[in-house]
Amino acid sequence: MRNRITILLLAASLAVAACGDDAATTTAAATTEPAPSELVLMTHDSFAVSDGVLEAFTAETGIVVSVLQAGDAGTMLSQAILTKDDPIADVLYGIDNTFLSRALDEDLFLPYTSPRLDVVPGDLVLDAEHRVTPIDFGDVCLNYDKEAFASSGLPVPETLRNLADPRYDGTLVVEDPASSSPGLAFLLATIATFPEGGDYDWRDYWSDLAANDVLVTSGWEEAYYSSFSGGSGEGDRPLVVSYASSPPAEVYFADPPVEEAPTAVITDGCFRQIEFAGVLAGTAYPEAAGRLIDFLLSDTFQEDIPLTMFVFPASTEATLPPVFVDFATIPDHTATVDPAAIDAHREEWIEQWTDAVR
């Protein structure tokens, strides 16, 4: 990858770190609830963790973490809402900024300010009441097949607007925003880039993409592995909506090993997905659940995130693996849409997208 990541570290002194440890100890010492033997962590089906990581929390606290995977992010949220009066878990992990307002409006979470929140950049904290805590983030970006563009002589598009150029007819595959998280993120990126009210808004843009033979698939796996031509893809389209962390994944899983990533990222029009965890209202163990939130921000968990879920840890103190440092990129700017606007207009936007594309 042309750009290498500079890992940003907080300028925290040893004294501040010690104060954080003291705060965590104080929280634990103030516990008045009975100590549970188990906490249930509700999450999405993409959740992954290395062997021994959650066991570290058990060794520290004596509490076993039972993971309940409940479908994709939207399905997980719906289940949490349906059971909020008698919750089936203690902590929910994996709600992102595309569904955040809905979750907060449903009063799913108890406010909790982790003593480790000071390792998280402020721009990841989207709830001032700290009902949810940022745990990781990933940037949905266009990826391209480097060899395909080099051999065709076609210039790599530098902006989203370039994709409407007839030269890129039949080159792009995207995911349906009604059924795919990265598909929805890319739709939001186009809404932010081509807002309503202008001479050329996002609906015009998608009409032009449709005229340019954009291919729409139901999900990321079909788009990346079956339709995209780069890396592990087996298709014939050199452009795909994927993640900024896809190039390091291509290197990490390559067999035989490769010296450089076969794919790269177009940083214009990336949309940042931030995943949060929160203590579910109604849990019998709110203080123990808070300790689990603290653990999710610990180096033990944060440094496991990149090579299990291929997103970035929220903590600036976490060390990234070399393959991320060498082959991933964090865009300087990402498209943003207010979570409340997403919640208010999501279904309307998807219907308008459908009309524009089909």
- What 3-state class would DSSP assign to 260? coil
Confidence class for position 197, pLDDT limits 50, 70, 90: confident
Beta strands in the chain (DSSP E): 38-43, 64-69, 91-96, 109-110, 133-145, 172-175, 215-217, 239-243, 263-280, 312-313
- What 3-state class would DSSP assign to 278? strand
Taking the C-alpha atoms of residue 210 and residue 216, their distance in angstroms, rounded to an integer, is 9
Q: Round the average pLDDT of the chain to a whole number and report it.
A: 89
- Mean pLDDT, range 278-294, rounded to an integer: 95
CATH number of 139-272+331-357: 3.40.190.10
Taking the C-alpha atoms of residue 183 and residue 143, their distance in angstroms, rounded to an integer, is 13
Res 74 pLDDT > 90:
no
Residues 6+ apart with CB under 8 A from 149: 155, 156, 238
Under a CB-based contact definition with an 8 Å cutoff, are residues 289 and 39 in contact?
Answer: yes
Give the domain ranges of the chain.
14-137+274-319, 139-272+331-357
Residue 73: Cβ within 10 Å count: 21
Q: Percentage of the chain with pLDDT > 90?
A: 77
∠ Cα 321 243 295 (to 5°): 50
∠ Cα 281 283 288 (to 5°): 115
Q: What pLDDT is attached to residue 279?
A: 97
Q: What pLDDT is attached to residue 71?
A: 79
Q: What pLDDT is attached to residue 190?
A: 97
Spatial CA neighbour of 274 closest among 328, 304, 245, 314: 314
Res 140 pLDDT > 90:
yes
Reported residue count of the chain is 358
May I ask the CATH architecture of the domain 14-137+274-319?
A: 3-Layer(aba) Sandwich (3.40)
Residues 6+ apart with CB under 8 A from 319: 7, 299, 303
Q: What pLDDT is attached to residue 89?
A: 95
Task: List, for residues 305-316, the tens digit of each pLDDT value.
Answer: 999 999 999 999
Res 83 pLDDT > 50:
yes
Q: Which amino acid is at 195?
A: P
- What 3-state class would DSSP assign to 259? coil
Say which DSSP state 223 is in: I
Confidence class for position 25, pLDDT limits 50, 70, 90: very low
Spatial CA neighbour of 185 closest among 336, 3, 25, 328: 336
Axis crossing angle, helix 181-193 with helix 339-357, rounded to the nearest 10 = 90
Q: What pLDDT is attached to residue 115?
A: 95
Residues 6+ apart with CB under 8 A from 102: 77, 343
How far, rounded to the nearest angstrom, does the alpha carbon of residue 349 sit from its chain's CA centroid? 21
Where are the alpha helices (H) located in 124-222, listed in sequence order?
A: 146-152, 181-193, 202-211, 220-221
